[in-house]
Amino acid sequence: MISADVSRAEGFTPPGPGDFDLQPLFGGTYAFAKPGLQLILAAVLVFGFFALTSRRAVMVPGRAQFAGEQAYGFVRNSLARDIIGSHDFMKFVPYLVSLFFFVLINNLFGLIPFFQFPTFSKAGFAYGLAALTWVLYNGVGIWKHGLIKYLKLQSIPGGVSGPILLLIVPLEFISNLIVRPITLALRLFANMFAGHLLLILFTLGGEYLLLESEQLLYKPVGVIALLLAIAISFLELLIQFLQAYVFTLLTAMYVQGALAEEH
């Protein structure tokens, strides 16, 4: 209730989606803003990290090589191998490893000073990334089964027969081929967007209550809000990691589903 009273009484403007429209760094029609820069930087960082740590790979790994192998092994073992299965997971490990660390670094930009903007809180970038995954798992399925059989596998679950198919087939088709990439993109986008909005709200609100509010009683509330903002930052750190994990996990699951003989 306090925040509602404040916004009514003293003209505090709460942050909204408009705060995510950044000023372009340069360029007119095809303006280039901070998120674009972060995307490129993240790609360079991921490539640089793995290139540096694996360039002089030796039998007994040094400190850098060990870090690189741990990072690679985490995605390779806990995501790719456990989900896609030991038969043909190796083909997808490069994509999954780069995807995981690319998303992770882009999410971490939300907390790193001077960036402080999670790239995927702009929906367009998340759509692009999900489209890549969509092309991958459909491509893999069509390459393995052929178009007709793949569509059949994706839209008819095993063990279903009779008139219920009339209901199941369109549902499965829409769910597996159309809704999947959309929810994949929106999940990443919405989590980053909502988390960042929450952080803005607590920091701006706390600053307002502490420094600009006329009421003396509101000042301790401002301190609490700022402390909570720090706590939420740690929660965000967890969510940023989790979302990168979930994005990669779902990509691996979709690939596995496209490869499977039985639905």
Inter-residue contact 84 to 92 (CB < 8 Å): yes
Give the largest Cα separation in the chain, rounded. Answer: 71
**CB 54, min distance to other proteins, A:** 26
**CB 112, min distance to other proteins, A:** 25
Which chain residues interact with other proteins by CB under 8 A? 4, 7-8, 17, 78, 82-83, 183, 186-187, 190, 194, 245-246, 249-250, 253
CB neighbourhood size of 232 (10 A): 17
**CB 82, min distance to other proteins, A:** 6
Residues 6+ apart with CB under 8 A from 5: none
CA distances from 219 to 202, 208, 215 (A): 14, 9, 7
**CB 213, min distance to other proteins, A:** 18
**CB 40, min distance to other proteins, A:** 27
Judged by beta carbon, residue 105 or residue 250, the one nearer other proteins is 250
Judged by beta carbon, residue 12 or residue 95, the one nearer other proteins is 12
Closest to 124 measured CA to CA, from 173, 189, 206, 69 = 189
- Pull the structure tokens for residue 262: 């039985």
What gap in Å lies between CA 225 and CA 237, rounded to an integer? Answer: 18
Judged by beta carbon, residue 19 or residue 67, the one nearer other proteins is 19
**CB 188, min distance to other proteins, A:** 9
Judged by beta carbon, residue 126 or residue 136, the one nearer other proteins is 126
**CB 246, min distance to other proteins, A:** 5
Judged by beta carbon, residue 237 or residue 253, the one nearer other proteins is 253
User: Which residues face 26 on adjacent strands?
Assistant: 32
The single-letter code of the amino acid at 222 is G
What gap in Å lies between CA 71 and CA 50, rounded to an integer? Answer: 9
Write down the residue that tokens 């490129």 correspond to.
40
DSSP for 205-258 reads HHHIIIII-S-TTHHHHHHHHHHHHHHHHHHHHHHHHHHHHHHHHHHHHHHHHH
Judged by beta carbon, residue 138 or residue 251, the one nearer other proteins is 251
Judged by beta carbon, residue 12 or residue 50, the one nearer other proteins is 12
Judged by beta carbon, residue 83 or residue 259, the one nearer other proteins is 83
**CB 239, min distance to other proteins, A:** 11
What gap in Å lies between CA 49 and CA 123, rounded to an integer? Answer: 27
